[in-house]
Amino acid sequence: MAVVNRCAVGIYPAQKLLDWALALELDIDAGGAREPCLYLIPDYDTEEEAEEILEEVYETIFEAELDFWHRDTGTWPAERTYPVFRKWFEVRFYPLIQDLVGEEITTTEVDEEFIGELRTALEGQEPRP
């Protein structure tokens, strides 16, 4: 088993986001809607350092999360500052990532157009049991 030289941050929907989703009549009980998304971040030694890292990357996470919930950017909150982000999402830091696969980790660039088409195609489908 190997330890990956990254940490992770889990992003959970907070009540503010759920209220927004309900106002838009989005299905907040859809499969995975309340599950966290994990984002890999650089190693950190303290909670304060983890917060500093998150503050550097929160805009990307904020937009990715809003896009997951609703692709119409016109419905997104106009103010997307770090304090607003912390009101819309609960955050949990994961300081240790262990690789149980044992294969080399690779990355794949995500084609945003493809992701959008995939999300559109999957909208309304029932989650698997």
| Residue 9 included in any domain | yes
Domain of residue 68: give its range.
2-122
How many residues can be counted in the chain? Answer: 129
What's the pLDDT at 34?
79
- Residue 5 is predicted with a pLDDT of 86
**Domain-embedded: residue 127:** no
For residue 41, is it within any domain?
yes
Q: Residue 62: name the closest of 41, 87, 33, 94 by CA.
A: 87
Query: Per DSSP, what are the bridge partners of residue 90?
Result: 12
**129 inside domain:** no
**What is the tens place of the pLDDT at every residue in 20-60?**
999 999 888 876 777 899 999 999 999 999 999 999 999 99
92 domain-assigned: yes
Question: Per the domain annotation, does 128 fall within a domain?
Answer: no
Predicted pLDDT at 30: 75
Question: Has residue 38 been placed in a domain?
Answer: yes
Give residue-wise pLDDT tens across range 66-90: 999 999 999 999 999 999 999 999 9
Q: How many separate domains does the chain show?
A: 1
pTM: 0.79
- The sheet with strand 89-94 has its strands ordered as 37-41, 7-13, 89-94
